[in-house]
Structure 1
Amino acid sequence: MEKSWESPHSTDVLVRAFPSRLAGDVRSVLAVVSDSRLSSADPFQVEVWGETVTVPSRIYHDEPNDDVVRSLPGLQQAILHCLYSRHCDGRVRQRHLEQIVRLDAAWVVPFVVQLAGEYVVEILEAIYRGLPGLGVPDSVQRGLYGEFIARNPAFFARTERRVVSYWSCYYRWKYPEFGTYPGSSLAEAFRAAASERAGAPWPRHTPAPLIGTGGQPT
C-alpha cells in the first residue's frame, strides 16, 4: 500500500528518530503503522550514542490495534511506543509514554525528556512516577538521564524554559508558586542527574524551588 505522507522519504524521517543500529527494527515497526495524510512535524535534534537523531515533535498516524502491537518483538514494541509518545493527541502520548518511561535505554530518553517540556500535567506526573531512580545517586536511571542532558545542554535548557512557560500560561492558577508545580520537581530531578554526571552544579533555567517543597509534586 502506497504511503500518503508528503515526502517519499518520510519513512526515512522516522527512522532517523533512532540510532542507526536500530534502523532495521524501526522499519519493521513502520511497516505496521497506518498511513497519515500529514507528515511528521517540527523535528528536534539531539545526540544519542554519539549519533545525531532527529525526533518529530508530532506524528499523526492512527494507532495500530493491540493485536498488531503484541505481535511485535519487545524491542519493536518499545520503538512503536516511543513513536506514539509523539502523537498529536495528549491521551495517546501519555498511554505510550507509560510503556517506555521505566525502560533503561539511552534511545528512549529523548522521547521522555521532550514530554517533560510539554503542557499535559498528567504526563509530567507519569514521568516523575516512572523514574524513581532519578532521586537515587549512582542509579542506572540517573546515569542515563544525566548523560543525555550533559550531551544535550541546549536541548535541556530549552526544555526547562518550556516547563516554566507552560506553568505560567496554563497552571499558575493551580500552582501559584513554580516550586509546587510537578514540572518543577521533574526539572530538579533531571538537573540533579546532570550535576552528578558533570561533577558540578548544572545551570538552572527555572525559578529556584521553594524551601520545604522537597522537590516533590503535590
Structure 2
Amino acid sequence: MAMTGSDLVAAFPRQLVNDVRAVLAVMPEARIAPASPFPVYMGDEAVAIPYRIYQDELPADVVCSLTVVQQAILHCLYSRHCDGLVRQRHLERIASSDELWVVPFVVQLAGEYVLEILESIQHGLSDLPSKRSAQRMAYGDFIARNPGFFARTERRVVSYWSCYYRWKFPTFGTYPGCHLLELLRAAAIDRTGVPWPRHTPPD
C-alpha cells in the first residue's frame, strides 16, 4: 500500500508533529509516493514508517536551517530512501542517537542487504554493549515492544547473508549482522529479564 506525503507524519510520535511538518515543508516533491509502511510501537504509541521514500536530497544550507530535532527527523526519513548510498549517509547521522523514535529506522536497516550499512550501524551503536547505557535501554525497550518486527528482522539478516555473503562469511556467526543481532537480543533480555527467542542459525 502506498502512502501519501502527509502520511509521513505518522512515522513519528504525535509530540513531534510540528517538527515533522516543518521538515516535510522543505522536502522536494516525491517522484513516487512513499511505499509500504511498516507498523511498530514507539513506547505505547503506534507509528507507520515508510519502507521507501523517493524525494531528492536537500541542499546543505536548507538542512542547516532546521533545528537539531528537525535534522534528526530528516535523517530518519532519508534513511528510508530508495538509493542505498543515500540511506547510509543519513543513517550515519542518526545511528548513535538513543532517542526512541530513531530506533526503528536503525533496526529496519539492520535487516537490509547492504553490508556497509550493517557496519555503519555497529559503529553508531558503540554504547549498545554497555549495560544500563541509554542506547541499550532504548533498543531493549523497542525490541520488547515489537517482538514480531525483530523476529522478521532476524530472518531477513539470515536470508541476505545466505544469498549474498555466505561466500565471504562461511558461517553465520562470522557475519557482522550476527554480531549486531546478538547485541540487540541482549538488550531485549536486559529490558525484560527473560530469555529472548532466537530466529537465526546456531553458529
Normalised-by-shorter TM-score class: over 0.9
Q: Does 1:72 align with 2:74?
A: no
Structure-2 residue corresponding to 1:81 = 75
Question: What is the alpha-carbon distance in structure 2 between the residues aligned to residue 125 and residue 96 of structure 1?
Answer: 14
Structure-1 residue corresponding to 2:136 = 142
| Larger of the two Rg values belongs to structure | 1
Normalising by the residue count of structure 2, what TM-score does the alignment of the two structures yield? 0.97
The Cα of 1:201 is off from its aligned counterpart by 1.4
The Cα of 1:78 is off from its aligned counterpart by 0.3
Q: Does 1:185 align with 2:192?
A: no
SS in 1 for 2:41: strand
Deviations 1:111-169 (A, max 9, x none): 00000000000000110111111111111111000000000000000000000000001
The Cα of 1:87 is off from its aligned counterpart by 0.2
Question: What is the alpha-carbon distance in structure 2 between the residues aligned to residue 144 and residue 104 of structure 1?
Answer: 6
Q: 1:118 aligns with which of 107, 112, 115?
A: 112
Question: What is the alpha-carbon distance in structure 2 between the residues aligned to residue 13 and residue 45 of structure 1?
Answer: 12
Deviations 1:34-82 (A, max 9, x none): 1012111111000003110000010000001101000101100000000
Q: 2:23 aligns with which of 26, 29, 33?
A: 29
Letter in 1 for 2:112: E
Normalising by the residue count of structure 1, what TM-score does the alignment of the two structures yield? 0.91
Structure-1 residue corresponding to 2:49 = 55
Asked if the contact 1:29–1:76 (Cα under 8 Å) also holds between the matched residues in 2, the reply is yes
Structure-1 residue corresponding to 2:152 = 158
Deviations 1:158-188 (A, max 9, x none): 0000000000011111111101111001000
Question: What is the alpha-carbon distance in structure 2 between the residues aligned to residue 196 and residue 183 of structure 1?
Answer: 20
Asked if the contact 2:30–2:55 (Cα under 8 Å) also holds between the matched residues in 1, the reply is yes
| Unmatched 5+ stretches in structure 2 | none
Question: What is the alpha-carbon distance in structure 1 between the residues aligned to residue 131 and residue 202 of structure 2?
Answer: 21
Letter in 2 for 1:92: V
Q: Does 1:199 align with 2:198?
A: no
Asked if the contact 2:43–2:145 (Cα under 8 Å) also holds between the matched residues in 1, the reply is no
Asked if the contact 1:40–1:60 (Cα under 8 Å) also holds between the matched residues in 2, the reply is yes
- What is the 5 A alignment of 1:165-176? 165-176=159-170
Question: What is the alpha-carbon distance in structure 1 between the residues aligned to residue 135 and residue 107 of structure 2?
Answer: 12
Residue correspondences, number: 202
SS in 2 for 1:156: helix
RMSD across aligned positions (CA): 1.0
